[in-house]
Amino acid sequence: MLDFLLAQMKAAGEICTAEQQQLVDGDIEHKSGKEIVTRVDRQVERFLRERINETYPDHGIIGEEDGTTKGDARCCWIIDPIDGTTSYLFGQSYYSISVALRVDGAYTVASVYAPALGQLFHAERGCGAFLNGSPISVSKRVKLEEAVLSTGFACLRSGWEHNNLTYFNRLVPRILDIRRCGSAAIDMAYVACGKYDGFWELNLNIYDIAAGVLLIEEAGGVVCDFRGGYAYPEEGIVAANKELTAAILPWLE
């Protein structure tokens, strides 16, 4: 199953790479407010759905663009065809394809692929997490003042009155530095491999974080909501090593 997933990720990445410079105004839609989608988002999701249906016809699918496909509720693929559509649209490299398989409520295999960066992450439950085939692990930094964190602002695009600016203003003065890729899947993959020490965000969806959750857990990190529980992403999401997570949470109350 992992070999199948990685083969589809690479093929989907080829579609993204080939089509990025071909986009024209007619290829872009506004789903709502500042939420945009391109024809390539839809093209990649259709490709992945078709390949999954061919190989695992009884499995369910949840995708960002086409919603939920009926199937075996025990086995469900969760797809974000392009996470970081704005970066993709503007010809930038920080976008990714994110896919995870959930079996009986637990993520079992997952991959995040950033084709423009040449970075293919994958994880399999109980087998660890990897970047381009090499094992990865979360960072060991435990002090906020030494940590580089990442975040995003999906809440602002959605017009939330209760938004991430409050938490941003609390945390940024207390950490070493902040990063923002514009792709939650890349942010979480970078936590998994130690490029970032931690990540937090509001107003994400299951397809934004599914693959990243397994990557981080298999890399030795933890994922929780803003209260330290498991109601993510609905109640916010935090990811880091265990000790740093404990240092971040008081500032998210």
pLDDT digits (tens, 9 = 90+) for 208-249: 999 999 999 999 999 999 999 999 999 999 999 999 999 999
Has residue 31 got a pLDDT over 80?
no
Give the strand order in the sheet containing 134-135. 67-69, 59-63, 72-83, 96-103, 106-114, 119-124, 128-131, 134-135
Give the global pTM: 0.94
Predicted confidence (pLDDT) at residue 3 exceeds the cutoff of 80: yes
The listed CATH number (3.40.190.80, 3.30.230.70, 3.10.20.30, 3.30.720.110) that belongs to domain 144-252:
3.40.190.80
What are the extents of the domains in the chain?
Answer: 2-135, 144-252
- Calpha distance 189→196 (Å, rounded): 9
Residue pLDDT, tens place only, 76-118: 999 999 999 999 999 999 999 999 999 999 999 999 999 999 9
Are 236 and 216 within 8 A, CB to CB?
Answer: no
Cis peptide before 233 (omega within 30 of 0): yes
Average pLDDT over residues 56-83: 88
pLDDT number for residue 155: 55
Q: What's the mean pLDDT in 9-16?
A: 98
Topology match between the domains 2-135 and 144-252: no
CATH number for domain 2-135, candidates 3.30.540.10, 2.20.25.90, 1.25.50.20, 2.60.40.2550: 3.30.540.10
